[in-house]
Structure 1
Amino acid sequence: MDQGTRQPERGVDVNAAFAGEKAAQIAAVEDKAARSREWLDGQLASGAVGKLGGGWYEYLTGWDRGERFRVELDAAGQIAAIVNQHGLDVDTTGRVALYASSPAWHGLGQIIPGGTTDVDKVLAMSGLDFTVTTVPAMYEWLGELRRHDGRFTTVREDTGEALGSVGKKYVPIQNADGFGFLQELVGETDVVWESAGALRGGRRVFVSIRLPQTVTVDADGINDEIVPYVAIFNDHTGGGGFTCVVTPWRPVCANTERFAVRDAHTSWTVRHTRGATAAIREARRTLGLSVRYFEQFTAEENALARTDIAVADFHAVLGALWPLEEDATDKVKANHAERTEQLDAMFRAEAGRLGRTAYAAERTITDFLDHRTRVVPRNLTEDLARAQRALEGGYDDEKSSAHRRLMLLTTR
């Protein structure tokens, strides 16, 4: 479990690697030596784990980087349990709201080996067989119940639980619509469903399928294999839209749901309005779901992987992304220097696995934008603000600019 020294194996499937790492973490709970304070202190000292407070910690390296876990201590101050959170909904019978075509790392949910094409069965097994409606928002004032004009509450029609607050133009996109959307998107009626589940009381749900294409970057070198999935994430709170991503992750828990968005190759989002899911043509164009797209994607990533670059080249790309004005304040200059130093360290780490290539540079910049960029929240916590920005494609322009500039280096 020394994640600080682990390196991903060549051609590894991220889902299998993540599941293996989770299994090792769970097995470590049974090992008194592994769950000693010395082990935890060692993980903290090596930078593999970060402390969040209140018994919560976060993995900073490895395939589940960004995942949080809780440490429970016994009376002697030793670690009694390491609780890895799956974040899925659980009904009154204890059944977890998850369907999957193969077992997940946590061993929970309803599994149909190899998957099924039966939408109704997947809806029932995943806990997504509910619909959402909107009701007028009400409030109490001086003992009188009043209606808040223009504001509505999204409500689960099976339980009556309130999910969020929305405006008058909001039209719920139902869970079943996600299945129909994916079927039409890929042009197949008999789609084999990979996973589906509900999070946070049904406020957010996901559905995924696996595409037949497999992308291999630099087969004779680093041999990075990307198995693409198409996943739908539907938000019923009013705080997010109906999002579709092409990603290497198969969502089976709250963490892999977050990773699927984090590592998405492309994404498309539409707001909950009338006729939203009819925009299939625009989604197909944006997501590039075609053989030609994957051929081009593979060719470009291969070109980056085979292009050695100097640190000066890397700094030139950084300078274009984050230019420093001559009259910048000392604070701005200090922040600029700190960012460059952090990116340099990340690039050295990536280069250790991928070589000092344009591909390693692109991975570094993407990782920094998704996970390290400071987000100034308005009324959200920093983590939620970052997640919202990732869902809304807040860094797409920077990533595209970096990709274009790095591709120019391949033609020198």
Structure 2
Amino acid sequence: MTITDVNTAFADEKARQIDTARSREQAFQARIDRGEIRLVGGDQYEILTGWDRGERFTVGRNAEGQISEIIAAHGLDSRSDGTIALYASSPAWHGLGQIIPGGTADMDTVLHAGGLHFTVATVPALYRFGGELHEHSDRFHTVREDTGAALGVVGRRYEPIQNRQGFEFLQELVGRYDVVWESAGVIKGGRRVFISIRLPDTVRVDADGINDMIVPYVAVMNDHTGGGTFQCVVTPWRPVCANTERFAVRDAVTRWAVRHTAGAVDQIKEARRTLGLSIDYFEKFAAEETALARTDIAVADFHQVIADLWPLEDDATDAKKTNFAARLGAIDGIFRTETERVGRTAYAAERAITGYLDHVAPRRPGKSMTEEIARATAALEGADDDTKAKAHKRLMLLTRA
């Protein structure tokens, strides 16, 4: 029989915990020293490099001041109790939010869990001149009525579309298709909110081959800044953080939008008819993507597609030649990764080109923007839609060769 000295075992375990904590602290400090992250204020840090550049996270510490947890916010807002303003029917990759396993069909539950149950009002815009406060007759601020936080500046014709008003039309689809609310969340302090449901049918690309599954979702985004619209999109992405909310707009296959003016809520009800046409699109989409997945592509042909998308003149400057080579190298790298998953096909080529545009292509941020925000703005505005469409049409020609 083996006899264990509990005091020795406790001391050994405590020593291991201290070594682990010390290693974590050292690794964290090393990232700061290398310029990969920086302290923003309090216990919040910002990532400065890599794919997560621009993301912020909170460092939790125990009573001894050692790092106990690292919580990423992913652009999502916090609720009054400190939890992340996100509802989801299943855990997202980042593990954040209020998870209701299997989801719920109750809209009020979703609005509260996701932090979307606030309303928005407009108040006069004021300015100080000559030591006195004046009112700007044609400008107003949108503010959250629960916190008083300012969200944007709008004109006289602007009328807020309240979150519940805008999302109610989806409740009928939830009941009709016997589906649940998939996700809902708040971004940038309430400036943007989103909610989504999953459509009942699943679309498969090359079912007998790579069998890539496409799940269509209806996502609705509401903007309270005055600079955006209320919009519905049908998309193969489930919005569970700021990034995937941007992907939802980028990959929209059916889109409907309305500005915040009188009568907008009545117009939103018409979106139900538009969304009903989406399933037909997904059938065509799956057929074309399957054709791409079953078409082998030579590297030379792939490079020719890239050359067609980004032509390089014979008399191009050295700088342009360098940029072309860098772009080609980046897309080639993504293509090699995709070919490991789906083979050296036109489908892999399309994934490589769209992946480059969405995640790698350089962006020139404005004075008040980071590169991450500039990239997000480009995705929201569909800056690369024409290039993606051209790439798809060009690759589809190979399927008929």
Common fold by TM > 0.5: yes
Residue 36 of structure 2 corresponds to 51
Residue 127 of structure 1 corresponds to 115
Q: Tell me by how many angstroms 1:138 deviates.
A: 0.9
Tell me the amino acid that sits aligned with residue 129 of structure 1. H
* Secondary structure, counterpart of 2:184 in structure 1: strand
* Secondary structure, counterpart of 1:221 in structure 2: coil
Residue 390 of structure 1 corresponds to 379
Residue deviations 1:197-234 (CA, integer Å, cap 9, x gap)? 22232221110101111122223332221222221121
Larger deviation, residues 301-310 vs 240-249: 240-249
Given that 1:100 and 1:111 are in contact with CA atoms closer than 8 Å, whether structure 2 keeps it comes out as yes
Residue 148 of structure 1 corresponds to 136
Q: Tell me by how many angstroms 1:163 deviates.
A: 0.9
Tell me the amino acid that sits aligned with residue 57 of structure 1. I
CA distance in 2, matches of 1:284, 1:305: 32
Trace 1:4-403 onto structure 2 (pairs within 5 A): 35=24, 51=36, 53-54=38-39, 56-57=46-47, 68=55, 70=57, 81-104=69-92, 109-183=97-171, 188=176, 192-261=180-249, 264=252, 267-276=255-264, 278=267, 289-381=277-369, 382-403=371-392
Structure 2 vs 1, CA of residues 243 and 389 (structure 1 numbering), >3 Å: closer, same or farther? farther
Residue deviations 1:78-115 (CA, integer Å, cap 9, x gap)? 97754422543333333543333334456554444333
Larger deviation, residues 365-374 vs 122-131: 122-131
Residue 20 of structure 1 corresponds to none
Percent identity of the aligned residues? 61
* Secondary structure, counterpart of 2:292 in structure 1: helix
Structure 2 vs 1, CA of residues 33 and 317 (structure 1 numbering), >3 Å: closer, same or farther? farther
Tell me the amino acid that sits aligned with residue 394 of structure 2. R
Q: State the aligned residue count.
A: 371
Given that 1:35 and 1:80 are in contact with CA atoms closer than 8 Å, whether structure 2 keeps it comes out as no
CA distance in 2, matches of 1:99, 1:264: 22
Tell me the amino acid that sits aligned with residue 341 of structure 1. G
TM-score relative to the length of structure 2: 0.78
Tell me the amino acid that sits aligned with residue 345 of structure 2. T
Given that 1:305 and 1:358 are in contact with CA atoms closer than 8 Å, whether structure 2 keeps it comes out as yes
Given that 2:222 and 2:230 are in contact with CA atoms closer than 8 Å, whether structure 1 keeps it comes out as yes
Structure 2 vs 1, CA of residues 69 and 270 (structure 1 numbering), >3 Å: closer, same or farther? same
Given that 1:170 and 1:273 are in contact with CA atoms closer than 8 Å, whether structure 2 keeps it comes out as yes
Given that 2:55 and 2:74 are in contact with CA atoms closer than 8 Å, whether structure 1 keeps it comes out as no
CA distance in 2, matches of 1:288, 1:394: 27
Task: Give unpaired runs (5+ residues) of structure 1.
Answer: 1-29
Residue deviations 1:325-381 (CA, integer Å, cap 9, x gap)? 344333333322322222222222222222111111111111111122222233441
Given that 1:139 and 1:146 are in contact with CA atoms closer than 8 Å, whether structure 2 keeps it comes out as yes
Tell me the amino acid that sits aligned with residue 291 of structure 1. I
Task: Give unpaired runs (5+ residues) of structure 2.
Answer: 1-18, 40-44
Give the superposed CA RMSD. Answer: 3.7
CA distance in 2, matches of 1:203, 1:96: 15
* Secondary structure, counterpart of 1:89 in structure 2: coil
